[in-house]
Structure 1
Amino acid sequence: MSGASSAGVPQVHSDPPGGPRAVAVWGLGVTVYFVAITYRTSLGVAALDASERFDINASALSTFSILQLLVYAGMQIPVGLLVDRLGTKKVLTLGVVLFTAGQFGFALSESYVAALACRALLGCGDAMTFISVLRLGSRWFPAKRGPIIAQVAGLIGMAGNLVTTLVLARVLGTFGWTPTFAGSAMGGVLILVLVAVFLKDHPKGHVPPPAPQSGSGYVRRQIQQAWREPGTRLGMWVHFTTQFPGMVFLLLWGMPFLVEGHGLSRATAGELLTLVVLSNMCVGLVYGQVIARHHAARAPLALGTVAATAGVWAAVLLWPGHAPMWLLVTLCAVLGACGPASMIGFDFARPANPPQRQGTASGIVNMGGFTASMTTLLAVGVLLDLTGGNFRVAFACIFLLEALGIWQILRLRPRAHRRERERVVASRVEAVHVPV
C-alpha cells in the first residue's frame, strides 16, 4: 500500500524490507543503548567505593539507584510520546547528551548531593534509549522480525553490563574513581557524533504516516488509548514481574550481597555478576527464537522464569549459613533469564497498538520493571539498615512483588488473548475485502 506526501512523493507504509542497511542503522541505535547500559550499571561494581567516597550507609547508597530509576520510570510515557511525535534520531541525540553529561559529572562529584543530581541526569538520558531503539527496529525491519529484534537489542545492551563487570571494575581498582568514570564518558561523546552523522529514522520510501496534532488532547488520547488495550497492561505487568530480580542484583545489591553476605572476594563476586550477564545474552537468543516461531509461548516463558527465580532465591535465602558456590552459580544463571523474560512484555503490547502509538505503549510497558526495581532497591536498603545487614530479610521482599505481578498477569491474560484474537480476525476480514 502506498500514499502520497504533500510534495507528491510516494510514501510506502508497508513493512520495510530490512537488509544490510537496516542492520547498520539499527546497530548504531543499539550501540547507544549499549553505552547507556554501561553507564547505568557502572554503580553496581562501584557500590562499595561509593559508600567510602561519600561516607553513606545502605539506605543512602540505594538512593543513587532509586533516584536514577525513578527518573527513568517517570520519563517512559513522555519519552514514548516524544518518539511518536519527533522520531528516533532527535530523541536519541538528546538522550546521549544527557547521559554523557551525567556520567562525566558523576566522575567529578565530591559531594553526595552533587552525585545524586548526576545520577538523575544520567537516568533521564538513559530513559530515552530503549524505546527509541524499539521504534527504530520497527521502522527498519518487517513486523515478523519484531520479537527477535527486541531480544537481540536487549542482548547487545547486556553486553554493556559485561563491559561494566569485566572492564570497569578492574579499571576502577587500578586508576580510581575520577579517571574511570570520566574516561568512560568519552564513549558517549563518540557515539553522539556517530548518531548525528549517520542515524536515519526510517528507510527511503517508507516514510511513516504524519504525526497527529500535538497538544494536551493528543497526549491524553495517546495514553488513554494505549492503556485501554489489555495487551499493553499485560505487557507492563509481565515486565514488572520478570525484570526486577536481575536488575536489582546487577544494578546495586549483587556485589554487597555476595561479598558481605556470603564472604566472597570482589574478584569472585565480579565473576558471578558476569555470569548473570552471559546467561542473559544466551537466554535472550533462545527466547527470541522461540517467541518468533511460537507466539503462544510468551506467557509460559514469562511465568516459568518467575517461578524459577522465586525457587532459586528461596533456596539461597533459606540455606543455613553461607550458600554453597554451586547454588550461587545457579542463582546467577537463573537471574540472567530475567532480562529476556521482561522483553516478552513488549511482545504483548506491540500487536495491541497501531504503529503511531507504539512509542507510548512501549513507554507504559517499560515503566513496569523499573518501578518494581526502584521499589525493591529501596526496600532492600531500608531493611538492611533496620536489621543490621541481614540480607535474608532484605531480599525476602522480592517474593511480595512477584506475587503481585503473577496475580495481575493471570487476571489480564485472558482479556489480552481475546482482544488479540479479535484483531487477527478483523485484519483477515479487512484483507479479504480490500479491492485489488
Structure 2
Amino acid sequence: MPFAAGYYLSYLFRTINTLISGPLSAELGLDAANLGLLTAVYFLVLAGAQIPIGVLLDRFGPRRVQSVLLVVAAGGAALFAASTGLLELLIARAMIGIGVAAALMAGLKAIVTWFPRERVALINGYMIMLGALGAVTATAPAEWLMGYSGWRGLFELSAAATLAAALLIFLAVPDKAQLVLPQRTSLKLGAIYRDPRFWRIAPLSASCIGSAWSLQGLWAAPWLADVEGFNREALIAQLFLMAIAVCLGALLLGTIADRLRRRGIGTETLFAAVVALFVIAELALIMRLPLPSLLPWIVVSIVSAATVLSFAIIAEYFPSELAARANGSLNVLHFGWAFVVQYGTGLILEQWTPQDGHYPAIAYQVAFAVSVAVQIVALAWFVVPWLRSLDWRAPASFLRALANDNVPVETVTASTEIRMFEPHESGEW
C-alpha cells in the first residue's frame, strides 16, 4: 500500500498534462511541439534513470530509494507551480521524472521479494490498479480543484502529497528486502540485454505500452477535442472513464493471467492477444470506423496497464535479486518509446496548419499510424518463433487429400512437439 501511494502520484504526474494542456498553453503560449516536449521530457528522464535506479533498488532496497526520490519529485512539483517560462517548466518536469522514476520498480521489487513467483502477475495487478487511481484523479477531481486553485495550486497540493508519501514509505515499510541483497550472482546487467528471451518481448512491450502511455498521458485530449469535437465537459467525462479503465484493466489482466497460468497457459500468450486487440483499436481510431470513440480509447487505457503482464514475464526470466535491474532494463525501452511517440506526435502535428485552433484529423491519423506500423512489426517479431515451431504437415497433407482422395492424410500424433516459447526454468515444461 505505501508503494501504491508512490505509484499513484507517479500516474498523476504522468497524465496531468492532458488536463492542464489547454490552460498551460494559453497562459504561456506553448505550441503543439513545445507541449509535446514538455510532457515527453518526463519520459526521457525516466528512461535514463531506470538502470541506475534498478541497481540502487537491488543494492539498498525499495524503502530507502523510493522515499529519497519522492522528496526530489516534491521539489519538482513545487518548482512547476512557480514556473513562468518553458525552461523552468522543463527543469521542474525533469525533477518530477527523476523523483518518480522508482515508483513502479520499487513496488515490483517488493512484490518479487515478498511473494511467490506464480502470484506476481496478480499482485502486480493489485498495485497497478491502486496506482492508476492517479489517472482517475487527473481527470474530473483535478478539474474540480483547478476551478478553485488553478493549475499552479494543483501542483502545490501535489508537492505536499508527494512529500507525505515519501515519509509514509520511509516510516511504514520494513527492511525485509535487505535479506536478499547480499546474495551474489554471475548474471550481470549486460547478460540481461543479451538474453534472447528479453529481446523477444521487449520491442513489443515497449512499442505498445509506451504508445499507450503517450496517448493517454497527452494526446487523447487533443484528439477528442480536435477530431471528435468534444467540448470541455464531455472531454473530461471520457478521460475519467478511460482512467477508470486503467484501474480495472490492471486488476483484470492480473486476474486473467493468474487463472490462465493455473491452467497451463503462459502469460506471453495473453500478452500477445492484448497487443493484437490494441492494434485493432488504434486502427479503428485512424480509419474513423463508425464506433463510439470510447470503445477504442478504453482498449488504449487497458493496454497502458499491461506492464502487469510484461513485468510478470520478465520476473520469470531472471532471479529475484536482479528483479529491479531486469525491470529497469525493460522500463528504459517503455519510457524511451513513450518519449519518442509523445514528442514525435507533436512534431508531426506541427506539419499541418491549425484551423480555428484545431489540428485536422489527417494530422493525428498520420502520427498514430506511424506508431501502429512499429507495433505490427514488433508483434510479428514476437510471434514468428511460435509460427516456426508449429507442425504444418497436417494442414498440408489435409489440403493434398482434398485434391486427391487417394493421398493418405498425415495426422499429428500426441507425441508431436508444439511449443510457443522456450522454457523459462529447467523443470517448468
| TM superposition score normalised by structure 1 | 0.83
Q: Deviations over 1:56-79 (max 9, x none)?
A: 210111001221101101111111
Matched, 1:341 2:313: no
Q: 2:86 aligns with which of 106, 112, 134?
A: 112
Provide the rounded CA distance (Å) in 2 between the counterparts of 1:275 and 1:398: 24
| TM superposition score normalised by structure 2 | 0.84
Residue 398 of structure 1: CA displacement?
2.0
**CA RMSD of the aligned region, Å?**
2.3
Kept after mapping to 2: 8 A contact 1:58/1:382: yes
Matched, 1:75 2:46: no
Q: 1:123 aligns with which of 97, 111, 116?
A: 97
Provide the rounded CA distance (Å) in 1 between the counterparts of 2:68 and 2:201: 27
Q: Which residue of 1 aligns with 2:216?
A: 250
Matched, 1:424 2:402: no
Q: Which residue of 1 aligns with 2:205?
A: 239
Secondary structure (helix, strand or coil) at the match of 1:46 reads: helix
Kept after mapping to 2: 8 A contact 1:237/1:365: no
Q: Deviations over 1:352-402 (max 9, x none)?
A: 111221111010122232222111112210111002222222222221221
Matched, 1:396 2:400: no
Residue type matched to 1:302 in 2?
F
Kept after mapping to 1: 8 A contact 2:60/2:181: no
C-alpha spacing 1:116/1:416, structure 2 compared with 1 (3 Å):
farther
Residue type matched to 2:100 in 1?
D
Residue 86 of structure 1: CA displacement?
1.2
Q: Deviations over 1:378-431 (max 9, x none)?
A: 221011100222222222222122123213323567899324153637xxxxxx
Kept after mapping to 2: 8 A contact 1:351/1:420: yes
Provide the rounded CA distance (Å) in 2 between the counterparts of 1:201 and 1:29: 14
Q: Extract structure 1 runs of 4+ deviating beyond 4 A.
A: 411-416
Q: Which residue of 1 aligns with 2:179?
A: 207
Secondary structure (helix, strand or coil) at the match of 2:174 reads: coil
Provide the rounded CA distance (Å) in 1 between the counterparts of 2:365 and 2:144: 29
C-alpha spacing 1:112/1:211, structure 2 compared with 1 (3 Å):
farther
Provide the rounded CA distance (Å) in 2 between the counterparts of 1:405 and 1:169: 37
Residue 222 of structure 1: CA displacement?
2.3
Q: Which residue of 1 aligns with 2:122?
A: 148
Q: Which residue of 2 aligns with 1:308?
A: 277
- Specify every segment of 5 or more residues in structure 2 that has no aligned partner in the other structure, as ranges: 354-358, 390-418
Matched, 1:383 2:330: no
Q: Deviations over 1:86-112 (max 9, x none)?
A: 111111012211111111111110111
Paired residues, number: 387
Residue type matched to 1:225 in 2?
A
Residue 235 of structure 1: CA displacement?
4.0
Residue 226 of structure 1: CA displacement?
1.9
Matched, 1:195 2:194: no
C-alpha spacing 1:126/1:209, structure 2 compared with 1 (3 Å):
closer
- Specify every segment of 5 or more residues in structure 1 that has no aligned partner in the other structure, as ranges: 1-26, 426-436
**Structure 1 vs Structure 2: percent identity of aligned residues?**
21
Provide the rounded CA distance (Å) in 2 between the counterparts of 1:52 and 1:297: 49
Residue type matched to 2:332 in 1?
M
| Between 363-372 and 375-384, the greater mean CA deviation after superposition | 363-372
Q: Which residue of 2 aligns with 1:290?
A: 256
Residue type matched to 1:329 in 2?
L
